[in-house]
Chains A and B, each alone.
Chain A
Amino acid sequence: MTMRRLFPIFGLLTAVLLSYALYEALVAAPTEQTMGNVQRIFYYHVPSAWTAFLLFFINFVCSIQYLVRSNPVADKVTNWTVIAIAIAACVAAFVIHPLPQGMEPSSVATTGLAIAGLYFLIKKYFSRERVDALAVVSAEVGVVFCTVVLVTGPLWARPVWGIWWTWDVRLTSTLVLWLIYISYLMLRRFSTSGQTPVLAAALAVFGALDVPLVYFSIWIFRTQHPQPVIGGGGSIDPRMLQVLLINWLAFLCFAGLVCWSRYRLEILRRELEETQALEALLEPRSPR
Chain B
Amino acid sequence: MSKTSAIPSGVTGATLAKDLRLEWRSKDAINSMLFFSLLVVVVFSFSFDPNAEESRQIAGGLVWVAFLFAAVVALNQTWARELRNQVLDAYRVSPAPANSLFLAKALGNFIFVAVLEILMTPLFIMFYKLRALGPAWQLLPIAALGTWALVVNGTFFAAMSLRTRSREIMLPLLLFPISIPALLAMVNATTAILTGELSAKFWIVLLSTYNVVFTIVCLLLFELVLNAE
Contact = CB atoms under 8 A, between A and B. Distances in A.
Q: Do chains A and B touch in the complex (CB under 8 A)?
A: yes
Interface of A: 67, 176, 179-180, 182-183, 186-187, 190-196, 198-199, 202-203, 205-207, 209-210, 213-214, 216-218, 220-221, 224
A209 B214 contact: yes
A211 to B, nearest CB: 9
B217 A214 contact: no
A67 B224 contact: yes
A179 B178 CA distance: 9
Nearest to A184: B174
B160 A203 contact: yes
Most chain B Cβ neighbours within 10 Å, of A176, A193, A206: A206
Contacts of B209: 213
B126 interface: no
B164 A216 contact: no
17 contacts: A182-B177, A187-B160, A187-B174, A190-B166, A192-B163, A199-B224, A199-B228, A205-B217, A205-B221, A206-B214, A210-B177, A213-B181, A213-B206, A214-B180, A214-B181, A216-B206, A221-B184
Interface string B193-209: 00000100011001001
B221 A187 contact: no
A268 B208 CA distance: 46
B4 interface: no
Contacts of A199: 160, 224-225, 228
Contacts of B228: 193-196, 198-199
A217 B86 CA distance: 41
B91 interface: no
Contacts of A183: 173-174, 177-178
Contacts of B153: 206
B55 interface: no
A221 B227 contact: no
Nearest to A197: B228
B113 interface: no
Interface in B126-177: 153, 160, 162-166, 170, 173-174, 176-177
A213 B163 CA distance: 29
A194 B188 CA distance: 41
Interface string B206-228: 10011001100100010011011
A196 B165 CA distance: 13
Given A187-B170, A192-B165, A195-B229, A217 B178 contact: no
B185 interface: yes
B12 to A, nearest CB: 21
A180 B184 contact: no
A100 B160 CA distance: 39
Given A176-B177, A183-B173, 20 more contacts: A67-B224, A186-B170, A187-B174, A193-B163, A194-B229, A195-B227, A195-B228, A195-B229, A198-B225, A199-B160, A199-B228, A202-B224, A202-B225, A210-B180, A214-B180, A216-B181, A216-B206, A217-B185, A218-B184, A220-B202
Nearest to B205: A220
A191 B164 contact: yes
A190 B170 contact: yes
A72 B43 CA distance: 54
B188 A186 contact: no
Contacts of A220: 202-203, 206
B173 A209 contact: no
Contacts of A180: 177-178
B181 A210 contact: yes
A217 B181 contact: yes
Contacts of B174: 183, 187, 203
Contacts of A209: 213-214, 217
A195 to B, nearest CB: 4
A207 B227 contact: no
A206 B216 CA distance: 11
A214 B185 CA distance: 10
Contacts of B162: 193
Nearest to B209: A213
B225 A176 contact: no
A199 B162 CA distance: 11
A221 B185 CA distance: 9
Nearest to B222: A202
